[in-house]
């Protein structure tokens, strides 16, 4: 009951509690605002990277629409030649490390799999790994 006798102590205590409550109600939203700003900055950086990649891909698409680029890729990748040209294929000499490489087997494939497992791997694309 000593608090009732001293109204200044009660008033000071209430004032401190109210100021503390006001402070904490302002700190939490401020932290959320700071976090949101960091998220926006990260999203803008990701957007800039995607726009750069998109511009590079668009340049590739535009280059692929030219007849010269199509011919170049057909010659390099598919081995096409024009009529009257002679194509030569250069082979590595026998005994090079490329000839001695054994065919690789997929380590994830085991013979004790059920047909359901094989079907699921085929449908999910896991058999391509």
Q: What is the pLDDT of residue 95?
A: 80
Q: What is the pLDDT of residue 106?
A: 57
Q: What is the pLDDT of residue 34?
A: 85
Q: What is the pLDDT of residue 122?
A: 81
Q: Split the chain (129 residues) into runs of 10 and give each run's mean pLDDT.
A: 69 88 76 87 97 95 89 87 86 73 56 80 77
Q: What is the dihedral of CA 107, 113, 115, 117, to 10 degrees?
A: -70
Q: What is the pLDDT of residue 53?
A: 97
Distance CA 96, CA 113 (A): 37
CA 33 to chain centre: 26
Q: What is the pLDDT of residue 47?
A: 97
Q: What is the pLDDT of residue 64?
A: 87
**Close Cβ partners of 81 (under 8 Å, ≥ 6 residues apart):** 75, 87
Tell me which residue of 121, 99, 125 sits closest to 110, measured CA to CA. Answer: 121
Distance CA 51, CA 102 (A): 43
**Are 99 and 92 contacting, i.e. CB atoms less than 8 angstroms apart?**
yes
């Amino acid at each position: 009951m000593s608090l009732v006798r001293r109204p200044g102590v009660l008033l000071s205590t209430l004032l401190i509690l109210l100021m503390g409550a006001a402070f904490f109600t302002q700190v939490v939203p401020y932290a959320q605002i700071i976090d949101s700003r960091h998220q926006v900055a990260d999203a803008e950086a990701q957007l800039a990277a995607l726009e750069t990649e998109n511009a590079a891909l668009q340049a590739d698409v535009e280059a692929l629409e030219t007849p010269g680029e199509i011919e170049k890729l057909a010659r390099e990748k598919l081995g096409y030649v024009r009529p009257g040209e002679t194509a030569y294929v250069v082979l590595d000499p026998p005994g090079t490390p490329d000839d001695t490489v054994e065919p690789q087997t997929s380590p994830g494939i085991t013979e004790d799999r059920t047909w359901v497992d094989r079907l699921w791997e085929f449908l999910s694309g896991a058999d391509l790994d």
